[in-house]
């Protein structure tokens, strides 16, 4: 049986309109990401996002195909994110993906965005050893996942309240920084003392679940009591606490499972302190680690095409009446 090789991926789950052509799930021929700016609203506005996706999607797909020098008749499948994410935003990409599969008579593959984030690793390192443990951290998600094989996932733990990226954004707001707050905190923290304030490490000792809302509250309380603490010190100390929890639990998960490698994924994986500590901790316990490049951490469609390619091989195509699922969990 010959496996499909060229997959067009489509990603519209949040505020990035993206398309990509990937060969054999590993080689990116083109990947175009058109990002919306929602900074003036202090967060992603679902209706604004949905409108922008509809305007951007076909131009982005067209640019992707031209850049990949790929004609529709060379494609083997269309993969689109169908969850989790903003329902209106997801529907734009899913509808266009289904229609293109009809127009070009190709299989349609409905891809879980979270699976996509893990596949970002395979795009740059096709030989990541499995089983692997992935720490998936973004604005919407904070989870530890064991991936035993392609299509075989086990959720080890996740946040009980705020996502890590959410905590970064909320703390950035407390510090009067712009949106999104993650990159700003990352930058300021390099100029601050991470030991200046000893913020709590919530749930550090127990299990694989996370909790970040208490940490954010601790920062708020500290700022109320000590308004003169330098912004740099607060940013560095908060970041140290958050990273501490994330890395400690990832390492614990790796040690308690028969893990071959540790993978970092999701938008917060672009944080330089998290990358540094994650790599260091993996080295300490002698487990191979993989950090996707920053452009592969944030939302893109190459990861969707890569995940879709594997899914097609394992499960086959998805029906055209597949519903988008805004709260699709990790389990396949």
Partner 1 sequence: MTEILALESATDVVGCAVGRHNDNLVEVRASMLANSDRSHGQMLAPMVKAVLSEAEMSIVDIDLVAVDCGPGRYTGLRVGIATAAALAYGQSLPVVKVSSTELLAFGARRFNGYIVSLVDARRGEVFYAVYRGHRHQGTAPGCWLEEIMPPKVGKPDDVITELSKYKGRKLLLGDSEIVGSVISNGVINNGVINCGVVSPSPSSLVVLAAQKAEAGQVWEASELTPLYLRPPDINTARKDTSKKDIAKKDAIKGDAVTRDTVR
Residues 268-307 that bind Zn ion (CB under 5 A): 299
| Residue length of the chain | 332
Residue 142 backbone dihedrals phi, psi, to 5 degrees: -145, 110
**CB closer to partner 1, 253 vs 324:** 324
The H or E element spanning position 118 is helix 113-124
Shortest distance in whole angstroms from residue 228 CB to partner 1: 27
Minimum gap (Å) between residue 13 Cβ and partner 1:
11
User: What's the rounded Cα separation, in Å, for the pair 22 and 150?
Assistant: 17
CB of 132 to partner 1, least distance (A): 17
**What is the closest distance, in whole angstroms, from the C-beta atom of residue 84 to partner 1 in the complex?**
12
Per residue in 301-330, is it b (16+ CB within 10 Å) or e — as a string? bbbbbbbbbbbbeeeebbeeebebebebeb
Separation CA 260–CA 47 (nearest Å): 42
Answer for the pair 320, 289: CB distance below 8 angstroms, yes or no: no
Q: For partner 1, which is the closer residue by CB, 195 or 283?
A: 283
Other Cβ atoms closer than 10 A to 114? 28
Half-sphere exposure (CA, 13 Å, Cβ side) for 2? 4
- Residue 166 is a binding residue for Zn ion (CB under 5 A): no
Q: Which is nearer to partner 1, 72 or 207 (CB)?
A: 72
The nearer residue to partner 1, 122 or 153, going by C-beta atoms, is: 122
Least distance in angstroms from the C-beta of 12 to Zn ion: 11
Q: Which option in partner 1, Zn ion, none does residue 202 bind, with CB closer than 5 to 8 A by kind?
A: none
Minimum separation from the CB atom of position 266 to Zn ion (A): 6
Q: How far apart are CA 91 and CA 83, in angstroms?
A: 9
Q: What is the dihedral of CA 260, 332, 250, 123, to 10 degrees?
A: 60
Residue 154 CB, shortest distance to partner 1, in Å, is 26
By beta-carbon proximity to partner 1, the closer residue of 26 and 257 is: 26
Sequence-ordered strand ranges (E) for 182-308? 261-265, 288-290
* Minimum CB distance to partner 1 smaller for 150 or for 173: 173
User: From the list Zn ion, partner 1, none, which binds 298 (C-beta under 5 to 8 Å, kind-based)?
Assistant: partner 1
Nearer to partner 1, 38 or 153 (CB): 38
| Binding span for Zn ion by CB under 5 A among 57-65, 136-144, 174-182, 320-328 | 136-144
Choosing among Zn ion, partner 1, none, which partner's interface includes residue 28 (Cβ < 5 to 8 Å by kind)?
A: partner 1
Binding site for Zn ion (CB under 5 A): 138, 299
């Amino acid at each position: 049986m010959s496996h499909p090789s060229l997959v067009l991926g489509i990603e519209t789950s949040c505020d990035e309109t993206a398309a990509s052509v990937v060969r054999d799930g590993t080689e990116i021929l083109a990947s175009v990401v058109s990002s919306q700016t929602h900074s003036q609203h202090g967060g992603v506005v679902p209706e604004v996002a949905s409108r922008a996706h509809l305007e951007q999607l076909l131009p982005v797909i067209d640019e992707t195909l031209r850049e990949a020098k790929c004609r529709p008749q060379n494609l083997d499948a269309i993969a689109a994110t169908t969850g989790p994410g903003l329902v209106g935003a997801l529907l734009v990409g899913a509808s266009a993906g289904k229609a293109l599969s009809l127009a070009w008579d190709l299989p349609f593959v409905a891809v879980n965005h979270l699976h996509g984030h893990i596949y970002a690793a395979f795009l740059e390192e096709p030989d990541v050893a499995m089983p692997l443990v992935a720490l998936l951290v973004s604005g919407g998600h904070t989870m530890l996942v064991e991936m035993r094989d392609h299509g075989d996932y086990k959720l080890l733990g996740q946040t009980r309240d705020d996502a890590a990226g959410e905590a970064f954004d909320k703390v950035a707001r407390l510090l009067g920084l712009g949106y999104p707050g993650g990159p700003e905190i990352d930058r300021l923290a390099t100029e601050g003392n991470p030991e200046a304030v000893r913020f709590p490490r919530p749930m550090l000792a127990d299990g694989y679940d996370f909790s970040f809302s208490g940490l954010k509250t601790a920062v708020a309380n500290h700022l109320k009591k000590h308004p003169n603490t330098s912004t740099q010190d607060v940013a560095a100390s908060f970041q140290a606490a958050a990273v501490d929890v994330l890395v400690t639990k990832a390492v614990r998960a790796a040690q308690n499972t028969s893990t071959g490698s540790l993978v970092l994924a999701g938008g917060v994986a672009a944080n330089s302190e998290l990358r540094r500590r994650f790599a260091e901790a993996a080295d300490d316990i002698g487990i191979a680690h993989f950090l996707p490049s920053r452009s592969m951490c944030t939302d893109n469609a190459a990861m969707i095409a890569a995940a879709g390619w594997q899914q097609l091989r394992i499960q086959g195509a998805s029906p055209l009446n597949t519903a988008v699922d805004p709260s699709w969990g990790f389990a396949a």
